[in-house]
């Protein structure tokens, strides 16, 4: 179960990193196919994120990983994955509320970027 939990955490982290790094593709369209693919990835990511937070109060991957960690005998706290990731990467421990606010801000930026992408494509703006 530990390997499954680690795999889920790795997939979760990679999905978040790809989502964050790809945000400029919504504004900069040097590679239209990549921008379009990222736009769909971003939309899917946002919908899954919002549904997960509405249903469980956090990402479904966080819930699933916690179940696996606990089944492996390693107690996992109720701290959101984003806070744990920031703590691992940057060595700081933001509060859960700060982590949620940063996450909500990132979702807002992504939504604005998606709207801008659609607007530019609809109106033929380069």
Residue 22 pLDDT grade (very low, low, confident, very high; cuts 50, 70, 90): confident
Residue 20 pLDDT grade (very low, low, confident, very high; cuts 50, 70, 90): confident
Distance between CA atoms of residues 17 and 31, nearest Å: 20
65 neighbors 81 (Cβ within 8 angstroms): yes
Residues 6+ apart with CB under 8 A from 9: 61, 65, 81
Distance between CA atoms of residues 115 and 106, nearest Å: 14
Distance between CA atoms of residues 82 and 69, nearest Å: 16
Average pLDDT over residues 78-106: 72
The per-residue pLDDT for 4 is 92
**pTM of the predicted structure, to 2 decimals:** 0.73
Higher pLDDT, 83 or 30: 30
Task: Tell whether the model's pLDDT for residue 55 goes beyond 90.
Answer: yes
The per-residue pLDDT for 125 is 65
Range with the poorest average pLDDT among 28-37, 45-54, 100-109: 100-109
Average pLDDT over residues 32-59: 87
Task: Tell whether the model's pLDDT for residue 126 goes beyond 70.
Answer: no
Query: Where is 81: in which H helix or E strand?
Result: helix 81-90
Task: Tell whether the model's pLDDT for residue 36 goes beyond 80.
Answer: yes
DSSP SS3 for 59: coil
Cα–Cα nearest to 80, from 2, 13, 18, 15: 13
């Amino acid at each position: 179960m530990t390997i499954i939990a680690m795999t889920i955490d790795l997939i979760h982290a990679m999905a978040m990193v790809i989502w964050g790094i790809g945000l400029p593709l919504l504004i900069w369209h040097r590679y239209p196919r990549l921008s379009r693919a990222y736009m769909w990835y971003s939309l899917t990511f946002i919908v899954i994120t919002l549904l997960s937070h509405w249903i469980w109060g956090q990402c479904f991957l966080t819930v699933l990983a916690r179940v696996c960690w606990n089944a492996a005998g390693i107690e996992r706290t109720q701290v959101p994955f984003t806070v744990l990731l920031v703590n691992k990467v940057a060595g700081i421990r933001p509060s859960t509320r700060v982590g949620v606010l940063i996450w909500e801000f990132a979702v807002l930026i992504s939504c604005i970027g998606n709207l801008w992408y659609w607007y530019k494509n609809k109106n033929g703006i380069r």
